[in-house]
Amino acid sequence: MNNKIFMMIELQNGLNDATNGKEWTKGITKNGKKIDWRRCIYMECAEMVDSFPWKHWKAITAEPDWQNHQIEVVDVWHFIISLAIEAYAQNDRGSLEDIAVQISNSDALYKIETEEESFAPMDDVLEKVENLIRVAISKEAVDLDTLFSDFFDLVAMSGLNLDSLYRLYVGKNILNQFRQDNGYKEGTYIKVWNDKEDNVVMKSIWETNSDVSPEFLYEELSKVYVTLV
């Protein structure tokens, strides 16, 4: 079993427990709100499209915003993991470890187990994003192996590998937890830190620490945030 895959699944499960309540896998939050992870996936993918200058009538010479695109890729990963956990729970398929084993043993994972990080042509990336939208929006049951395979294709095409996906995922997951702990739902959270969005601050922390741990990142975010309030 790949430890990084397992840790990401554990972190997502913990974040969902904290945000939505312990029974979120039944499809309802602790506040009685319906959860639709497939909608989360395709709406986040739609936002991802805007990282690219796809409009033929506007900014036609602009370059893709690869940094923002990579953050959106990680956001989609949050929702894909959540969908997998929900599916396993509702169909009695096993534990978090079993999900990690399924991914670790799949042929798809090898696509991102590489040191190479390069960007694919924009049109190829957009085609892959739109394919994920089709999978998520379909009325058919989602085949998790196919979903994982398509997503890992996108990861590789987006200049990411397993290591960089893991670091970005840990960063965004812990930032989401940090937001929840500091008034995000109540509307009191400060999102811009000294003229920088918290996403940018988070990314700069993990970029300077090659083996960042969730605990370390949370502590570093706290150190910066306390100077703002």
Phi, psi angles (nearest 5°) of residue 224: -75, -45
Mention every residue, 6+ apart, whose C-beta is less than 8 A from residue 130.
45, 49
**Per-residue confidence (pLDDT) for residue 205, from 0 to 100:** 85
Query: Which residue type occupies 43?
Result: M
Quote the pLDDT of residue 161: 94
**Strand ranges (E), the chain:** 192-193, 196-197
C-alpha span between 191 and 169 (Å, rounded)? 19
Taken in order 157, 134, 12, 6, is the CA torsion positive or negative? negative
Tokens of 112: 């991102």
Residues 6+ apart with CB under 8 A from 12: 78, 81, 82, 85, 173
Q: What is the mean pLDDT of each run of 10 residues along the chain (229 residues)?
A: 94 93 96 96 95 93 92 95 97 95 92 87 97 93 93 96 91 90 91 89 81 84 92
Alpha helices in 105-143 (DSSP H): 122-137
With b meaning 16 or more CB within 10 Å and e meaning fewer, what string describes 93-128? eeebeebbbbbeeeebbebbeeeeeeebebeebbeb
Alpha-carbon gap, residue 142 to 156, rounded angstroms:
22
CA dist list (Å): 163 to 5, 62, 171: 10, 29, 12
Q: Which domains does the chain have, with CATH numbers?
A: 3-186 (1.10.4010.10)
What is the per-residue pLDDT for 80? 98
pLDDT of residue 116: 78
Which pLDDT belongs to residue 8? 95
CA 102 to chain centre: 19
So what's the pLDDT on residue 210? Answer: 64
